[in-house]
A and B are shown apart, each in its own frame.
Chain A
């Protein structure tokens, strides 16, 4: 009996000693599919590509940070917009990897798709060394995304009702142009003014391009911005209805949802009103 207690005690001490080492090792690594990233390699890449905006300490205070009107991400705070995980939790390695690959539109964060998978995995591993959160917390469990139901007119109309009911229009505007009555009052977690997404301006979202991505955006929320998670408010089927409706607001982007919506008199009228001839980036207007 006594021997057993001593064994347990030794095991406990060993566990206590090993746990920080394991945690530390995990913090210095990332795992994306079959690729494992290493912080040491990521450090070199970071100080080649990233420090100008994100800063030497990863706090977003790079020499160019002050000139950017969407501030660079503060890796020390470890609050990330694009996640597959519930609001308030850390993102998965894959989420960070995807953000690097995709870039963030309407910001100065470009796509790093040109880098190799290994490079991006190494960068993810290094980015995780900036915040103590990665030592004490685990990444959240990805939000399950059920299969997309068949696109129907009813689905779009129900999504339109949800758009009103959830008051999405207050920020995004009735036409989804990011010009709702609250739009001018919004600030992000750094107290910087932030504009709601303008659906009419393009096809890409901040955190992806597919319907699957849109689903994740409003079920996980964009942490650090006023865009909340609707996971507790909206059922999965309803979320898909909202996805279908939001696609119809992207009037400059051809999609099955827009085509179906335009096939109705009501939809055609709304889309016609929303369409403005010109380049969606505001770089000029066709005469």
Chain B
């Protein structure tokens, strides 16, 4: 008769316990749902990592990535050098003629999304009630096709057609760059559509959920904006995390400790076809890194975006709505009535051996016309600028920490906070939020986001990247539920395989 050894028996018990626990967790998540059917979008966002570079240079992913896709200082320097290592082997002439620098990335996942106050049909009519809605299931991220590298020594490029999860493509990045102009690393010129030189790159973010797949502070706009009360108002959307169309001059010291960049971009949030106006914005950033004993490389930096955005179209076409200047019929590129906005901040990246933390402070403002959704031409305003309206001003903070146990295992934690310091609309206590008129509280629209996760890379290679990803994120916003004006919460749980080849 076969008898299991005590050691084998113990192993089997552990395995069975683990399997049952996982199954129970899975079932609990499955049946804990409230009414399903919300069309919450699958996680999206285009993120970057290029095994094509690893294949070209023979370096493992972990050389350039602290944890793929997040760059290590060496990877950042490689990028800053125009995807060149500088050892006279960068030009394509040194590659096998069959080498084609292309990588794809996609992430099959299971995820669960919850919104505590989704607008639903009620007894009073369509969209008059709120419900706690949960949905979950297996899903896909979008697909990215990365190509990048050098066209010649000191001439580099990056082209990234990217799709959403339905395979609808757009150009996420298209740029060429002249590197080391005048034989100095301090002068490099980039032209095209590219990520701003954010010191904490959103395109290399380690989190993937709907809630935390982007940095909230990079995209935050006050809840009073784009409120729909003025048909002539040209919707204002901007995020420093979005890839932008423009040109950038950047430079860095030989060891990449000191970096700067100045970008002049079209003020259309990276949308092609000159859809809005003829205005521009400027993004400036500078940073300095220094080493502290054996702790690692520390970096501090500043950034500032100053831009303007149109509030209405000069010309409209095909306007059959009967509303003069209806923005839905605006002729692309004729947006006028520009108003200013800015995003500024500080960043510190602190390394304490395997533990690192990034802290960011944001200070932002949108002009009162942008912040209230009002065209600056009074003749076009359905609801004129509210008496007492003022520029919206808010502050933000981000704390992201990682514990990199090894190049194969990283834990991720993040907290983001957004606090309105000046509402664009007058505060009328005791009344619900009335778009274009008033807000109920000074903290209307404040937002907190908490994220936890981990990524495990079963193998390290110079050929492909693969990660087993798990993450939970939760966001809480004050007073912005669509019907009752109560607090709005989102949560997102995700597990999946993230791979690139």
Interface residues of A (CB under 8 A from B): 41, 44, 47-49, 51-53, 62-64, 67-68, 103-118, 201-202, 204, 279, 281-284
A105 engages B88 (CB within 8 Å):
yes
- Which A-chain residue is minimally distant from B89 (CB atoms)? A108
Whole-angstrom distance between the Cβ of B392 and the nearest chain A Cβ: 40
Alpha-carbon gap, A120 to B297, bound state (A): 13
Judged by DSSP, the binding face of A is loop
Q: List 16 A-B contacts (CB under 8 A).
A: A48-B62, A49-B63, A63-B462, A103-B86, A104-B87, A105-B88, A107-B89, A110-B59, A111-B85, A111-B86, A114-B76, A114-B77, A116-B296, A118-B293, A201-B88, A284-B152
Contact with A along B398-410 (1 / 0, CB 8 A): 0000000011000
Whole-angstrom distance between the Cβ of A116 and the nearest chain B Cβ: 4
B255 engages A114 (CB within 8 Å):
yes
B60 engages A52 (CB within 8 Å):
yes
Interface residues of B (CB under 8 A from A): 57-60, 62-63, 72-74, 76-77, 85-94, 152-153, 254-256, 291, 293-294, 296-297, 406-407, 461-462
Chain A positions within 8 Å of B88 at CB level: 105-106, 201-202, 204, 281
Contact of B93 among A51, A52, A116, A281 (CB under 8 A): A281
Alpha-carbon gap, A115 to B59, bound state (A): 16
Chain A positions within 8 Å of B407 at CB level: 47-48
B91 engages A281 (CB within 8 Å):
yes
Contact of B91 among A52, A109, A282 (CB under 8 A): A282
Contacts A108-B57, A113-B254, A114-B77 given; indicate if A64 touches B462 (C-beta within 8 A): yes
Alpha-carbon gap, A281 to B92, bound state (A): 10
Alpha-carbon gap, A67 to B99, bound state (A): 13
Whole-angstrom distance between the Cβ of A28 and the nearest chain B Cβ: 15
Chain B positions within 8 Å of A62 at CB level: 58
Whole-angstrom distance between the Cβ of A30 and the nearest chain B Cβ: 13
A279 engages B87 (CB within 8 Å):
no
- Which B-chain residue is minimally distant from A282 (CB atoms)? B93
A-B pairs under 8 A by CB, number? 95
Alpha-carbon gap, A128 to B264, bound state (A): 49
Whole-angstrom distance between the Cβ of B405 and the nearest chain A Cβ: 10
Alpha-carbon gap, A107 to B294, bound state (A): 29
Whole-angstrom distance between the Cβ of A195 and the nearest chain B Cβ: 12
B254 engages A108 (CB within 8 Å):
no
Whole-angstrom distance between the Cβ of B300 and the nearest chain A Cβ: 16
- Which B-chain residue is minimally distant from A102 (CB atoms)? B87
B462 engages A279 (CB within 8 Å):
no
Whole-angstrom distance between the Cβ of B93 and the nearest chain A Cβ: 5
Whole-angstrom distance between the Cβ of A45 and the nearest chain B Cβ: 10
B85 engages A110 (CB within 8 Å):
yes
B293 engages A108 (CB within 8 Å):
no
Alpha-carbon gap, A116 to B73, bound state (A): 10
A41 engages B93 (CB within 8 Å):
no
Chain A positions within 8 Å of B93 at CB level: 281-284
Alpha-carbon gap, A204 to B89, bound state (A): 13
- Which A-chain residue is minimally distant from B84 (CB atoms)? A110
Alpha-carbon gap, A19 to B226, bound state (A): 77
Alpha-carbon gap, A114 to B257, bound state (A): 8
Alpha-carbon gap, A105 to B90, bound state (A): 11
Contact of A113 among B58, B255, B293, B294 (CB under 8 A): B255
Q: Name the 6 nearest CB pairs between A and B, nearest first.
A: A64-B58, A283-B91, A110-B85, A116-B291, A52-B60, A114-B77
Contacts A108-B87, A111-B85 given; indicate if A283 touches B153 (C-beta within 8 A): yes
A53 engages B58 (CB within 8 Å):
yes
A49 engages B74 (CB within 8 Å):
yes
- Which B-chain residue is minimally distant from A202 (CB atoms)? B88
Whole-angstrom distance between the Cβ of A133 and the nearest chain B Cβ: 26
B58 engages A68 (CB within 8 Å):
yes
Alpha-carbon gap, A201 to B152, bound state (A): 16
In this complex, the member of A51, A204, A281 whose beta carbon has the largest number of chain B beta carbons within 10 angstroms is: A281
Chain A positions within 8 Å of B74 at CB level: 49, 112, 114-115
Chain A positions within 8 Å of B89 at CB level: 106-108
In this complex, the member of B60, B72, B255 whose beta carbon has the largest number of chain A beta carbons within 10 angstroms is: B60
B86 engages A52 (CB within 8 Å):
no
Whole-angstrom distance between the Cβ of A210 and the nearest chain B Cβ: 15
A49 engages B59 (CB within 8 Å):
yes
- Which B-chain residue is minimally distant from A279 (CB atoms)? B153
- Which B-chain residue is minimally distant from A284 (CB atoms)? B152
**Seed contacts A49-B74, A281-B153; 5 additional CB < 8 Å A-B pairs:** A64-B59, A113-B254, A114-B255, A281-B90, A284-B93
Alpha-carbon gap, A283 to B90, bound state (A): 9
Chain A positions within 8 Å of B87 at CB level: 103-111
- Which B-chain residue is minimally distant from A110 (CB atoms)? B85
Contact of B152 among A47, A64, A204, A283 (CB under 8 A): A283
Whole-angstrom distance between the Cβ of B238 and the nearest chain A Cβ: 33
Chain B positions within 8 Å of A41 at CB level: 294
- Which B-chain residue is minimally distant from A109 (CB atoms)? B87
Whole-angstrom distance between the Cβ of B63 and the nearest chain A Cβ: 5
Chain B positions within 8 Å of A201 at CB level: 88
Chain B positions within 8 Å of A103 at CB level: 85-87
A63 engages B73 (CB within 8 Å):
no
- Which A-chain residue is minimally distant from B297 (CB atoms)? A116
Chain A positions within 8 Å of B294 at CB level: 41, 118
Chain A positions within 8 Å of B291 at CB level: 116-118
Chain B positions within 8 Å of A49 at CB level: 59-60, 62-63, 74
- Which B-chain residue is minimally distant from A52 (CB atoms)? B60
Alpha-carbon gap, A48 to B255, bound state (A): 19
- Which A-chain residue is minimally distant from B96 (CB atoms)? A67
Whole-angstrom distance between the Cβ of A130 and the nearest chain B Cβ: 18
Alpha-carbon gap, A107 to B63, bound state (A): 17
Whole-angstrom distance between the Cβ of A46 and the nearest chain B Cβ: 11
- Which B-chain residue is minimally distant from A38 (CB atoms)? B294
B85 engages A114 (CB within 8 Å):
no
- Which B-chain residue is minimally distant from A283 (CB atoms)? B91
Whole-angstrom distance between the Cβ of A66 and the nearest chain B Cβ: 10
Chain A positions within 8 Å of B297 at CB level: 116
Chain B positions within 8 Å of A64 at CB level: 58-59, 462
Chain B positions within 8 Å of A117 at CB level: 291
Alpha-carbon gap, A109 to B85, bound state (A): 9
Chain A positions within 8 Å of B77 at CB level: 114
Whole-angstrom distance between the Cβ of A54 and the nearest chain B Cβ: 11
Chain B positions within 8 Å of A114 at CB level: 73-74, 76-77, 255-256
Chain A positions within 8 Å of B60 at CB level: 48-49, 51-52
In this complex, the member of A44, A49, A283 whose beta carbon has the largest number of chain B beta carbons within 10 angstroms is: A283
In this complex, the member of A67, A105, A116, A118 whose beta carbon has the largest number of chain B beta carbons within 10 angstroms is: A116
Alpha-carbon gap, A70 to B254, bound state (A): 25
Whole-angstrom distance between the Cβ of A136 and the nearest chain B Cβ: 30
Alpha-carbon gap, A104 to B74, bound state (A): 16
Chain B positions within 8 Å of A112 at CB level: 74
Alpha-carbon gap, A95 to B331, bound state (A): 66
